[in-house]
Structure 1
């Protein structure tokens, strides 16, 4: 039984739009007579601290109110502070892409997400951990890791403060498509096998979607103990554009130059060039040489439809 809800609220989420939604959230909890505690994030990394301090609270749901970055920080805080406990995690989506909540079966509309919190249905959730770059000890992720093209897209989208939602990623994709040319030579090991490819994009997913629009792993299941791979060999710009169109429908499987598979552990090395990497939209490195990515089966529970 959930006796309290700790809402970790990011007022900067959605480029500040989250603040306009806060009265709706508080009104709902008061009307339904649901106990809640509101904690505001004040800077990057603060949600990690808040979640870590609350991870062992009994009969309590820890709710991330924000975008994918907020969810990522809260998940990292829960993992850092949970000990032997299995935290209960909820989401009120207020970001641009809200890809984690999509893969976690949390409605995009705030009204519906609040009703999901009220009902409190939950199931186990796998997480991933990536080691390398700026995080040699590891950073947890809930949705996925992007290596190469889509990380640069995210960096471009972040430069457009007045462009909202998935449209920022569309513009970022077009800008990256024009100027991106370097694909590292990648050694990828998983399931006891090794392959060397010149890869423009590698996605390793727990969820289904990135950038609010691109279904990198349309068949991914977030509690099967596996991560889903989508790797794209170096392509001409025209062929890459055609591939990106397939991403929007999740129909890229079987296309030339596309590898899709599953495993619980991946090891990547840059033999030539370096990796530009994000996890749930959070930058891991801009010139990485080695990455280790693993699935952690069911360390927390997620509230969902």
Structure 2
């Protein structure tokens, strides 16, 4: 089996770079023939995935977190046009690894590689917004603010990074005026959070949509209207 591995060294504050030897050891132990590319900048994983999708690889593997995975998936989708994408493997070595959790991808690298070598595939839903696809979730207002704050926390990693970022975001939070419509109704007014979810979790530990399933053909959404801050904190 021949695979193309796209590794984002910056994922989990360079934690992915430190785990590169473990990644390669797991691939070699499984007997996989692989080519490994280390990304250099934002968007590099998308371009690499597009090119790999045209090659004679049996699968393209994303080694990183949810951001890396999003870039890789967008590259595979662009390369596939209206047809099926090249099979995707996931090695969850990022900060949150939220989609991997929803897809039941083990955190253990040997076990994650075993899923790939065994050819265990599942089809998952994709959603599109503003010309890009996503697999886990897409949000407005508070959640993106948390992401921005998390990117500025240079010395923290793992779930604690998002917890601290959430606290900082709440201190700056302002409501967005939105008109949201869905199958059964709509909402017009100030909103603190709108999160459209394909996966269950976000931020490494926040269960955003417990009933969401990545392959049910549906999107779940969470809407928090403007409410007293003490209620948000509760």
Structure-2-length-normalised TM-score: 0.94
Q: Residue 165 of structure 1 is aligned with which of 154, 158, 167?
A: 158
Q: Which moved more, 1:182-191 or 1:88-97?
A: 182-191
Name the Cα RMSD after superposition.
1.5
CA distance in 1: counterparts of 2:108 and 2:230, whole angstroms:
35
Change (3 A) 1:59 1:50: closer
Structure 2 Cα separation of the partners of residues 31 and 120 of structure 1? 16
Asked if structure 2 preserves the Cα contact closer than 8 Å seen for 1:55 and 1:81, the reply is yes
**Secondary structure of residue in 2 paired with 1:207:** coil
- Match status 1:183 vs 2:169: no
Contact 2:30 2:113 in 1 (8 A): no
Counterpart among 194, 205, 211 of residue 213 in structure 1: 205
| 1:74 equivalent in structure 2 | 72
Match of 1:227 among 219, 222, 227: 219
Distance 2:20 2:7 in 1: 9
Shifted more, 153-162 versus 68-77: the winner is 153-162
- Is there any run of 5+ residues in structure 2 with no aligned partner, and where? none
Aligned pairs for 1:37-52 within 5 A: 37-52=35-50
Structure 2 contact 50–76 (Cα < 8 Å) conserved: yes
SS in 1 for 2:90: strand
1:197 and 1:209 map into 2 onto residues whose CA distance is 26
Residue in structure 1 matched with residue 90 of structure 2 by the alignment:
91
TM-score normalised over the length of structure 1: 0.73
Which protein, 1 or 2, shows the higher relative CO under an 8 Å CA cutoff with sep ≥ 6? 1
Structure 1 runs (4+) deviating above 6 angstroms are: none
After TM superposition, give the deviation of residue 119 of structure 1 in Å: 2.2
Structure 2 equivalent of residue 148 of structure 1? 141
Q: Number of paired residues?
A: 233
* Greater helix fraction, Structure 1 or Structure 2: 2
Aligned with 1:195: secondary structure? strand
**What are the residue-to-residue correspondences of 1:219-298 with 2, within 5 Å?**
219-242=211-234
Deviation for aligned residue 1:14: 1.2
Q: Is the 8 A contact 1:56 1:85 kept in 2?
A: no
